[in-house]
Amino acid sequence: MSWFGNASAAQSFTNTVEMLLRAGADVNAVNKEHRSSLLLATMHGNTDVVKALLQAGADANHADRRQRTSLIYASETGRKEMVRLLLDAGCNVNAADENQMTSLMLANRYGHHKIIELFVETGADKNQLTSVVGRGKMFLEKSPVKGKKVNETFKVTKSEEQTVTGKVYESN
């Protein structure tokens, strides 16, 4: 494992990461799990480090051994600002992990509807929303949850061809 990877994964190490970058550290170095510094910073929720790494040219679409990208980790944990940074850096919104789960599917599974809206606005395949029944909150208009009360509804329209409507059901 690189020292650079360790520094980026820790909270509040933006200055250390920036110093390592200035000293010529490989921004795309990976550890034994094939996780880059960008993946580690994303997993640990350090937005400032993610910004610094992206500005230094980190590969926004790098995937670990499980084929999980930074975008997948950020959407699964509901980090909207980080998701926006990664999308702006060119992350593939439709990339899937080893279980064929995409960022949109994971945001759906964990009830992060603001991230779902962001993905639909940026071109995610909206048909993914009807292909997963996750735990907790669900956004599945075509698959209502028997016995669950609808807490809210939402609608996202990008264009005439791409509109997503859904219902947020109470959590388990």
| Structure confidence by residue, pLDDT tens digits, 94-130 | 999 999 899 998 998 888 989 988 988 888 877 776 5
Chain centroid to CA 90: how far?
12
Q: Is 122 left (phi over 0), alpha (psi -120 to 50) or beta?
A: alpha
156 pairs with which residues across the strands?
164
CATH code of the domain in which 75 resides? 1.25.40.20
Q: Is residue 73 part of a domain?
A: yes
Q: How many domains does the chain have?
A: 1
pLDDT tens digits, one per residue of 48-81: 999 999 999 999 999 999 999 999 999 999 999 9
Q: How far is CA 56 from CA 20, 53, 68, 118, in A?
A: 11, 5, 21, 25
Q: Is residue 142 part of a domain?
A: no
Q: Which domain holds residue 86?
A: 3-125
Q: Is residue 147 part of a domain?
A: no
